[in-house]
Structure 1
Amino acid sequence: MRWLLLVTVGMGVFLITLDNTVLYTALPTLVAELRATNSQMLWIMNAYPVVVSGLLLGTGTLGDKIGHRTMLSLGLAIFGVGSIAAAFAPDAAVLILARGVLAIGAACMMPSTLALIRLTFQQPRELALAISLWAMLAVLASALGPLIGGILLEWFWWGSVFVLNLPFVLAALCAIPFVAPRTSLDRSKHWDFYSSFLACLALMGTVLFIKELVHSPQNWRLIGGAVVVSVLGWFLFTRRQSQLPEPLISLDIFRNPVFVAGTIGASFAMFGMVGLQFIITQKAQLVDGLTPLESGLLVTISAAGSALTSLIAGAKLHIIGARLLVAGGMLVAVAGTVAVMFGAAFHWWWAIIVGLFVVGAGLGGVTAVASMLIVSNAPPHRAGMASSVEEVSYEMGSLIAVAVLGSLLSFIYSVTLHLPSGAPARAHDSLQDALMAMTEEKMKPEVASALVDSATASYEYAFVACTALVAAVLFLGFLLTNTRLKGYKLPEEESSKTAR
């Protein structure tokens, strides 16, 4: 029965992660049909991870209070309602709000999936394998999201990427009463909604600051306002935690270097995986002319590599060791990202394909082990907090990747683009605007041809710069995790050495 529970909570974590990446291939179509602006496009992508990250720190405590089985069911129901609202959204604003509702459901579900696994799997090796499979599902969903989006767009409208959630939601809701154990309720636990609100506010300010800072031209009033909101939000959040008897997060949990290595591994791995998927799917459709399905197939190559190493890492962790899998995996991913960068620069498709597989192989092992390092290296009285930090680490990696790389891509495109005489000014905003302008406005053939050449060249410069940034971040992740995991031995390894 416990493996059926893993399948059930696996459906939940699969949906949560899938909704982060399934829009990548649908985004060009969605933006065109809803006529979304560049800012709306950013929030369509980032509303979900911002709200999830802000709420996750508190929903684990709420699960302890009302029961993780109840919390999982509640999250699934909210997620289903959000999916319906998103699928039939009439405009970009409604879609952004619906993505926020989806995020509330995801934030309710995520801590409960891991908590129910910890309660069900008692033996250390079984628990390590279960958590590795849980992490593998998250990585696979992230990698398969663009492909699933591409497949659906071949036959259906963009809203189908949200309708897809409903059968999984219904199946999981039906299974929970039979497979999920009842958990003891702790009525003394207090969920501080004000702290969660401050975290969301601070994250929104941070994302807006990143986006506007690299926008050309800059709106300095908006940038200043974003800085104020972000700094004030983080200040009030930190002060609030120091005043609570049971804070959502406490800095003493980060004193363990292995715990910190796990959070770095989780967030940096998602930055690399999600960041590459996001920029590659956009380039493949807008520059290379691939269909949504073809671009989805391209980035899914990384899933093959990550699935392989995730399974190996979970089964052989006690043999291979955490340092080699986490720090070594980061270094392998750096090599794969560099291959993607050179492949894009010289139009070598084989290098992009091989590079994506190598990136997936490197980061699959990282994510499988990072979750275990976080959960197993926190003090027992901080177990719920550690689970929340683990989940926030993944979400923050995805959030920062889309915010930074999406904004940087637009910025470099805008500042390097030389508009030919007679081309509309809106082409400066984004490559998609340039392509739409050519179909909607009457231009001379020679002007249209010059605009396409200039716009695609600028976009390719921006793409290469973004892949270089991903490689640099992953290399930094290697340095940080390699130092913190030096000399670390798994608990089983240490006990077996003592026995001998």
Structure 2
Amino acid sequence: MTRKTAGAGPAPAPALSARQRWLALSVLVLAVLLVGVDATVLGLATPYLSEDLRPSGTELLWIGDVYSFVIAGLLVSMGSLGDRIGRKKLLLTGSVAFGAVSALTAYAHSAETMIVWRALLGVAGATLMPSTLALIRNLFPDPRERSVAVGIWGAMASAGAAVGPVVGGLLLEHFWWGSVFLINLPVMAVLVVVGAKLLPESRNPRPGPWDLPSVVLSMAGIVAAVYAIKEASVHGLSADVAGAGVLGTAALTVFVRRQLRLPSPLLDMRLFRHRGFSGAVLADLLTILGLSGLIFFLSQFLQMVQLRTPFQAGLAELPAALGAVVAGLAAGTVARRTSVRGAVSGGLAAVGLALAGCVLLHVSTGYWLLGTLLLVLGIGAGLSFTVTADVILSSVPKEQAGAASAVSETAYELGAALGIALLGSVVTGYYRDFATPEGVPESAAAAARESLGGAVEAAHGVPGASGEALMTAARETFTEGLRAGAAVGAVVLLTAAALSWRLLRGQRLADGPGEEAVGGAGAEAAGAAASGTGE
């Protein structure tokens, strides 16, 4: 029993001072912040990029989606790889790659090369997120300190996603579209230089081989599933979408069966047999489902319905980030003074209530309501997401921290895809059938029904009052669809709050350094995992 330090090999690493631990954390959250920024900043750059690279409609979709597809598909594999070769080594290698590919992306000369660089950026990004969370697990053996550290980590992830549009809008007003990728370079340089000195290495001392067939199955299953979800939400069910869904389901089924047979699996599936771990992963997924789905469509509402600039829309969404940061920092204290299930269920309920509040939105709704809803949304998401990440980390021994972190991050990516798909299917269902005013040519009407952006473009080609009437009808119909989608999301999130109250019964956060896992189901999960790695 030598679990005193974050072991990095045969000899235990020297313990870090409190100052060194918090400095190391400040380096880790730089990576999290940048991955969050990079996930959202492209949306603002897309119009400028389209003028320069002239992508087709399909190529434009792949430029936007391939980054998240690759990240989602590789998270589990990269988390497990970090457990095997060392999380510090994987993080620093991934950081160098992320910076280099960011520069290539900024100077992409065609749509095809842009897709390739975005895919490689996803590969590099997949090394960063699970490595940072796993290193936090090993940097902070004291559960109370770790809760604060995880809170800061979650706050930076939320802040990155919210700050992305603000930073992107500011850069795009003064520089070319590639500038939104070059901001990664100085941050990654600091991370590599400082991280090489401050971060301790940690890995599983008896990891077993890295199973390549499992890597392929995980990648194929998750990418196919996420692709099917996103495409179904935008274009409806088709043969391609159904085929991708079947492929994803089959690959993931074979992946799970293979993990149960392997002596050293890529992901220990026995963790999911325990109510606490599974409940935390499910709550994690549903929190992000509500957050990402609403933010995605509110961004369009702010820019194309209420006619704000990208920079103004980014600023308008900041209350969500502020709420997430504050709630994330307080989450550990709240969970200990109340209960884990109280904090998670309360956070999910807050997200659900924010979604329910969106049924009051109209084209001319003032910012006081929007800002309040976004603040409540951020507080709920920050509280739930941070506590579930803490539970997931605490439920496994340190040796499997990378794989467990990857499960949390994969739930994040799947939740984002499902959130956009769920609200998107409702919004699209309302929007595509809206009645266009008289005097609008059928070609313009058809283009307007494709998307709100298509309506803006079509309205410019329709002269006089007919063009204004087309735009008014499109905005009102989109807002009506947003209200309906938010109502459906509210039902899902409030149901999830009740489900989490049941699944996380008896779960608690550890209080002292001697407690390696949460009580109840989490302790059983840790025991099962430890028995699987002790041979």
TM-score relative to the length of structure 1: 0.90
Does residue 46 of structure 1 match 2:61? Answer: no
Structure 2: unaligned runs, 5 residues or longer: 1-19, 520-535
After superposition, the C-alpha distances for 1:447-497 in whole angstroms (9 at most, x for unaligned) are 32232122222222222223223322321321221112233333339x99x
Partner SS, residue 492 of structure 1: coil
Where does 1:21-32 land on structure 2 (aligned, <5 Å)?
Answer: 21-27=40-46, 29-30=48-49
Does residue 154 of structure 1 match 2:185? Answer: no
Partner SS, residue 195 of structure 1: helix
After superposition, the C-alpha distances for 1:224-270 in whole angstroms (9 at most, x for unaligned) are 43234323322332343344322223432112222122212222222
Does residue 305 of structure 1 match 2:320? Answer: no
What is the match of residue 428 of structure 1?
A: 449
Report the Cα distance in structure 2 between the residues aligned to 1:37 and 1:341, rounded to whole angstroms.
35
Note the C-alpha offset of 1:390: 1.8
Alpha-carbon contact 2:434-2:449 (below 8 Å) kept: no
Note the C-alpha offset of 1:385: 2.8
What is the match of residue 510 of structure 2?
A: 491
Partner SS, residue 202 of structure 2: coil
Change (3 A) 1:403 1:153: farther
Alpha-carbon contact 2:131-2:402 (below 8 Å) kept: no
Alpha-carbon contact 2:150-2:390 (below 8 Å) kept: yes
Note the C-alpha offset of 1:198: 2.5
Aligned mate of 1:437, from 458, 461, 468? 458
Report the Cα distance in structure 1 between the residues aligned to 2:108 and 2:329, rounded to whole angstroms.
39
Aligned mate of 1:277, from 278, 295, 299? 295
Larger relative helix fraction: 1
What is the match of residue 454 of structure 1?
A: 473
What is the match of residue 200 of structure 2?
A: 181
Instruction: Tell me which amino acid in the other structure corresponds to 1:292.
Output: P
Structure 1: unaligned runs, 5 residues or longer: none
Change (3 A) 1:384 1:449: closer
After superposition, the C-alpha distances for 1:278-300 in whole angstroms (9 at most, x for unaligned) are 11112211221100000001111
Does residue 4 of structure 1 match 2:58? Answer: no
Report the Cα distance in structure 2 between the residues aligned to 1:300 and 1:190, rounded to whole angstroms.
44
Partner SS, residue 173 of structure 2: helix
After superposition, the C-alpha distances for 1:23-62 in whole angstroms (9 at most, x for unaligned) are 3444455456655565545433332222112111111221
Report the Cα distance in structure 2 between the residues aligned to 1:316 and 1:221, rounded to whole angstroms.
48
Where does 1:450-489 land on structure 2 (aligned, <5 Å)?
Answer: 450-489=469-508
Report the Cα distance in structure 2 between the residues aligned to 1:104 and 1:26, rounded to whole angstroms.
21
Report the Cα distance in structure 2 between the residues aligned to 1:93 and 1:309, rounded to whole angstroms.
41
Alpha-carbon contact 2:285-2:412 (below 8 Å) kept: yes
Q: What percentage of residue pairs aligned between the two structures are identical?
A: 33
Question: Once structures 1 and 2 are overlaid, which stretch shifts more, 111-120 or 367-376?
Answer: 111-120
What is the match of residue 129 of structure 2?
A: 110
What is the match of residue 12 of structure 2?
A: none
Report the Cα distance in structure 1 between the residues aligned to 2:429 and 2:176, rounded to whole angstroms.
30
Where does 1:52-451 land on structure 2 (aligned, <5 Å)?
Answer: 52-183=71-202, 186=205, 189-215=208-234, 220-344=238-362, 347-378=365-396, 382-406=400-424, 408-418=426-436, 420=438, 421-424=440-443, 425-439=446-460, 441=461, 443-451=462-470
Report the Cα distance in structure 2 between the residues aligned to 1:403 and 1:30, rounded to whole angstroms.
25
Report the Cα distance in structure 2 between the residues aligned to 1:215 and 1:133, rounded to whole angstroms.
34
Change (3 A) 1:28 1:328: farther
Does residue 15 of structure 1 match 2:34? Answer: yes
Partner SS, residue 80 of structure 1: helix
Instruction: Tell me which amino acid in the other structure corresponds to 1:134.
Output: W
Report the Cα distance in structure 2 between the residues aligned to 1:32 and 1:432, rounded to whole angstroms.
15
Alpha-carbon contact 1:338-1:355 (below 8 Å) kept: no
Report the Cα distance in structure 2 between the residues aligned to 1:241 and 1:33, rounded to whole angstroms.
46
Change (3 A) 1:243 1:323: closer
Report the Cα distance in structure 2 between the residues aligned to 1:21 and 1:480, rounded to whole angstroms.
30
Report the Cα distance in structure 1 between the residues aligned to 2:430 and 2:63, rounded to whole angstroms.
21
Instruction: Tell me which amino acid in the other structure corresponds to 2:134.
Output: A
After superposition, the C-alpha distances for 1:57-114 in whole angstroms (9 at most, x for unaligned) are 1112211322222111111012112212322334444333322111111111222212
Report the Cα distance in structure 1 between the residues aligned to 2:452 and 2:157, rounded to whole angstroms.
31
Report the Cα distance in structure 1 between the residues aligned to 2:109 and 2:224, rounded to whole angstroms.
27
Alpha-carbon contact 2:363-2:476 (below 8 Å) kept: no
Change (3 A) 1:331 1:142: same
Report the Cα distance in structure 2 between the residues aligned to 1:5 and 1:240, rounded to whole angstroms.
37
Report the Cα distance in structure 2 between the residues aligned to 1:302 and 1:3, rounded to whole angstroms.
25
Change (3 A) 1:219 1:328: closer
Change (3 A) 1:27 1:78: same
Alpha-carbon contact 2:133-2:402 (below 8 Å) kept: no
Instruction: Tell me which amino acid in the other structure corresponds to 1:431.
Output: L
Report the Cα distance in structure 2 between the residues aligned to 1:17 and 1:239, rounded to whole angstroms.
33
Report the Cα distance in structure 2 between the residues aligned to 1:232 and 1:178, rounded to whole angstroms.
44
Alpha-carbon contact 1:25-1:281 (below 8 Å) kept: no
After superposition, the C-alpha distances for 1:124-145 in whole angstroms (9 at most, x for unaligned) are 2222221222122112222222
Alpha-carbon contact 1:139-1:303 (below 8 Å) kept: yes
Partner SS, residue 426 of structure 1: helix
Query: How many aligned positions are there?
Result: 494
Alpha-carbon contact 1:344-1:352 (below 8 Å) kept: no
Change (3 A) 1:303 1:381: closer
Instruction: Tell me which amino acid in the other structure corresponds to 2:453.
Output: Q
Report the Cα distance in structure 2 between the residues aligned to 1:187 and 1:110, rounded to whole angstroms.
23
Change (3 A) 1:38 1:286: farther
Q: Indicate the RMSD between aligned Cα atoms, in angstroms.
A: 2.8
Question: Once structures 1 and 2 are overlaid, which stretch shifts more, 306-315 or 164-173?
Answer: 306-315
Partner SS, residue 239 of structure 2: helix
Alpha-carbon contact 2:233-2:420 (below 8 Å) kept: no
Change (3 A) 1:434 1:94: farther
